[in-house]
């Protein structure tokens, strides 16, 4: 992608984060500068930057901008402020575990280095954020390579939400697979769920796929069952925000419904995600915290009121697909099939760093 989803400009002391503001796409390509902690938190909460790996990278850079004011402080003061900054960022969105994972990497940079002054730790925090971003780029490539082998030649492939370059620091997770398959000349056509209520599929995924020259068809979420029944879909692939140790996977609301439909229509259902999206501290998906967002996203999405005044709403942003409905998980370390705790542990390791 020619415009990076996120980029750091300048040095650790005075630099800042620049985000491609995803709330403005596809109509406007607008870059947002984040020079303060509050800018990063607001950008994550309002989905200017979104998608599990991308918010992890944004949070790591958020730590740097959040700690810049304490560059001249004593180490004690710096460490105390660091705890507050990481807590604020961790609380910005609850479901994607990549956020907490990136923040714990930032925290580790400062730990056990009493000999370094605050300015040196700030430099290390920036180096770590850059490392997280660079690693994510490589991870996306590897996911794409492994997943492309699963795609049937000439297939219709359905995807939900946006798990592309906009959601990562590289080419994406689910979309990396589709980009790799297209690059191999596999002649796929992608069906994109519009993804109510915030339309990440309609606004972002179609934008990315068409820029890549992939035949793309936008459908309403409610059309997926009929598309499968009509034989238009030979595989489903999505990303994930958090995957429990047993393979239960949280992703954008509506993903679970697709998995149920795929089972009914004997269509393979794949989830592509990096190791940083796995949360081995959770035995099953029942423990995954699900973000609930403002009901206004349903009743007056994008400005126009579409429901009666005062109507009650329920707006969970994610759901959990049980492992038994997932044909395989595609990771940077290979394909996990069948999706069981044992197979996940075998491919990824469970020792924290893998
Ligand atoms: O609310 P969003 O847009 O952040 O939700 C994003 C998703 O659900 C993605 O599918 C997921 O983060 C995977 S991104 C590679």
pLDDT bucket at 125, cuts 50 / 70 / 90: very high
Per-residue pLDDT at 353: 43
Could you list the beta-strand ranges (E) of 303-343: 318-321, 328-331, 334-336
**DSSP bridge partners of 252:** 318
Residue 170: predicted pLDDT: 97
Give domain limits for the chain: 6-140, 143-348
- Nearest ligand 1 atom, CA 200: 3
Mutate to test the pocket of ligand 1, among 48, 240, 293 (most ligand atoms within 8 A of CB): 240
How would you label 60-76 residue by residue, b for 16+ Cβ within 10 Å and e otherwise? bbbbbbbbbebbebebe
pLDDT digits (tens, 9 = 90+) for 15-74: 999 999 999 999 999 999 999 999 999 999 999 999 999 999 999 999 999 999 999 999
Question: Is 50's C-beta closer than 6 angstroms to any atom of ligand 1?
Answer: yes
What is the per-residue pLDDT for 56? 98
Closest ligand 1 atom to 252 CA: 8
Q: What average pLDDT score do residues 304-322 get?
A: 98
Q: For residues 234 and 253, what is the distance between their CA atoms, to the nearest angstrom?
A: 22
Q: How confident is the model at residue 354 (pLDDT cuts 50, 70, 90)?
A: very low
- Residue 291 confidence (pLDDT) above 70: yes
Per-residue model confidence (pLDDT) at position 352: 43
Ligand 1 centroid–CA 294 distance in Å is: 17
Binning pLDDT at 50, 70 and 90, where does residue 146 land? very high
Kindly state if the Cβ of 196 falls inside 6 Å of ligand 1. no
Active site positions, annotated? 241
pLDDT band at 106 (very low <50, low <70, confident <90, very high): very high
Q: Is 161 touching ligand 1 by the criterion CB < 6 Å?
A: yes
Tell which one of 57, 195, 251 to mutate to probe ligand 1, the residue whose CB is within 8 A of the most ligand atoms: 251
Whole-model pTM: value is: 0.96
For ligand 1, say whether the CB of 167 is within 6 Å of any of its atoms: yes
Instruction: Tell me the CA–centroid distance for residue 140 and ligand 1, in Å.
Output: 14
Closest C-alpha residue for ligand 1 atom 8: 252
Does the CB atom of residue 98 touch ligand 1 within 6 A? no
The helix or strand, by DSSP H or E, that contains position 86, with its residue range, turns out to be helix 75-90
Could you tell me the pLDDT band of residue 2, with boundaries at 50, 70 and 90? Answer: low
Distance 234 CA to ligand 1 centre (A): 22
Does 344 score more than 70 pLDDT? yes
Distances (CA, A) of 50 to 43, 168, 239, 317: 8, 8, 12, 12
**Does residue 256 surpass a pLDDT of 50?**
yes
- Two tokens, residue 14: 């005075």
Residue 137 has pLDDT above 50, yes or no: yes
Residue 173 Cβ inside 6 Å of ligand 1? The answer reads: yes
Q: Is the pLDDT of residue 150 over 50?
A: yes
Q: Is 285 in the pocket of ligand 1 (CB under 6 A)?
A: no
Residue 319 has pLDDT above 70, yes or no: yes
- Per-residue tokens: 263: 């089972």
Stretch 242-267: mean pLDDT: 98
pLDDT of 264 above 50? yes
Tell me, in angstroms, the distance from the centre of ligand 1 to residue 316's CA. 13
**CATH architecture classification, 6-140:** Up-down Bundle (1.20)
Q: What is the pLDDT of residues 71-105, one digit of tens each?
A: 999 999 999 999 999 999 999 999 999 999 999 99
**Strands 6-9 and 328-331, sheet pairing:** unpaired
Counting from 1 in the atom list of ligand 1, the atom nearest the Cα of 174 is 15
Round the average pLDDT of the chain to a whole number and report it. 96
Average pLDDT over residues 257-283: 98
Q: Regarding the domain with residue range 143-348, which homologous superfamily does it belong to in the CATH classification? A: Translation initiation factor eif-2b; domain 2 (3.40.50.10470)
Number of the ligand 1 atom closest to the C-alpha atom of 173:
15
Q: Is 251 in the pocket of ligand 1 (CB under 6 A)?
A: yes
Ligand 1 proximity of 22 Cβ (cutoff 6 Å):
no
Q: What is the DSSP string of 284-313?
A: SGGGS---B--THHHHSGGG---S-TT---
Task: Supply the residue whose CA is at minimum distance from atom 15 of ligand 1.
Answer: 163
Percentage of the chain modeled with pLDDT above 70: 98
Locate 319 and state its tokens.
Answer: 């759901």
Ligand 1 nearest atom to the CA of residue 251, by list position = 8
Alpha-carbon distance 116 to 57, whole Å?
A: 24
Q: With 90 as the cut, is the pLDDT of residue 229 above it?
A: yes
């Amino acid at each position: 992608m020619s415009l990076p989803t996120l980029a750091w400009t300048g040095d650790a002391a005075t630099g800042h984060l620049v985000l491609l503001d995803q709330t403005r796409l596809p109509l406007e390509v607008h870059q947002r500068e984040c020079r303060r902690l509050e800018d990063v938190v607001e950008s994550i909460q309002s989905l200017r930057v979104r998608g599990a790996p991308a918010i992890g990278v944004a949070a790591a850079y958020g730590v740097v901008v959040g700690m810049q004011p304490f560059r001249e402080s004593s180490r004690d003061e710096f460490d105390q402020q660091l705890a507050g900054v990481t807590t604020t960022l961790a609380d910005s969105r609850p479901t994607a575990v990549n956020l907490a994972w990136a923040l714990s990497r930032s925290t580790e940079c400062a730990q056990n280095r009493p000999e370094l002054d605050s300015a040196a730790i700030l430099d290390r925090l920036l180096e770590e954020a850059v490392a997280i971003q660079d690693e994510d780029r490589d991870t996306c490539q590897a996911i794409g390579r492994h997943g492309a082998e699963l795609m049937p030649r000439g297939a219709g492939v359905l995807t939900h939400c946006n798990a592309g370059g906009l959601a990562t620091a590289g080419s994406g997770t689910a979309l990396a697979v589709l980009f790799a398959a297209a690059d191999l000349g596999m002649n796929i056509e992608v069906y994109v769920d519009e993804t109510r209520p915030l339309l990440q599929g309609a606004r972002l995924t179609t934008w990315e796929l068409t820029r890549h020259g992939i035949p793309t068809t936008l459908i309403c979420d409610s059309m997926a069952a009929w598309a499968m029944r009509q034989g238009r879909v030979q595989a489903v692939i999505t990303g994930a925000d958090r995957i429990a140790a047993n393979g239960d996977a949280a992703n954008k609301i509506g993903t679970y419904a697709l998995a149920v439909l795929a089972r009914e229509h004997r269509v393979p259902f794949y989830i592509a995600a990096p190791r940083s999206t796995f949360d081995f501290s959770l035995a099953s998906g029942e423990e995954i915290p699900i973000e609930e967002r403002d009901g206004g996203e349903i009743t007056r999405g994008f400005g126009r009121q579409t429901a009666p005044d005062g109507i009650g709403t329920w707006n969970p942003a994610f759901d959990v697909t049980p492992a038994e409905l997932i044909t395989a998980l595609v990771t940077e370390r290979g394909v996990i099939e069948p999706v069981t705790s044992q197979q996940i542990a075998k491919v990824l390791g469970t020792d924290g760093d893998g």
